[in-house]
Amino acid sequence: MLISENVKQNSAVISTQVLQEFYNVATVKLGCDKLAAKEATQRFSRIPLEQVDVSLIQQAIDISILSQLSFWDSLILAAAEHANCHVLYSEVLNDKQVVRGVTIVNPFLESNQN
């Protein structure tokens, strides 16, 4: 529901890294059929895509150093910042933390569900 609402409002963005992580988690950790996971990544790719490039990698390194976050989490934040996102939905990062103007929201916390 969260994804579909943001897609309808044209406010959803996804990074190439998130697509890669989705496929890996779906097939390796969750044991989903690889072709079904591929089809899901194809559906997600209809959302505006933020391509990871050298510039984003450099920004992610800075975020990682300054915010004490993992490089991979920082890369997602760098992509969100580059796409002018104000909110990043994540269950792993600290809810309500703001990094470079991007507010992290854990959509699974009851206080954030609406």
Task: Render pLDDT for 75-102 as a digit per residue (tens, 0 to 9).
Answer: 999 999 999 999 999 999 999 999 999 9
Q: Is 22 left (phi over 0), alpha (psi -120 to 50) or beta?
A: alpha
Percentage of residues in the chain with pLDDT exceeding 70?
Answer: 98
Using alpha carbons only, give the angle 39, 43, 44 rounded to the nearest 5 degrees. Answer: 115
Report how far residue 34's alpha carbon sits from residue 38's, in angstroms, rounded to the nearest whole number: 6
Q: What pLDDT score does 39 carry?
A: 95
Question: Confidence class of residue 114 from pLDDT cuts 50, 70 and 90?
Answer: low
In this prediction, residues 5-15 reach a mean pLDDT of 85
Domain edges within the chain: 2-108
Q: What pLDDT score does 42 carry?
A: 92
Question: Confidence class of residue 5 from pLDDT cuts 50, 70 and 90?
Answer: confident
Question: Confidence class of residue 8 from pLDDT cuts 50, 70 and 90?
Answer: confident
Look at the domain 2-108 and name its fold. Rossmann fold (3.40.50)
Q: What pLDDT score does 13 carry?
A: 93
pLDDT surpasses 90 at 61: yes
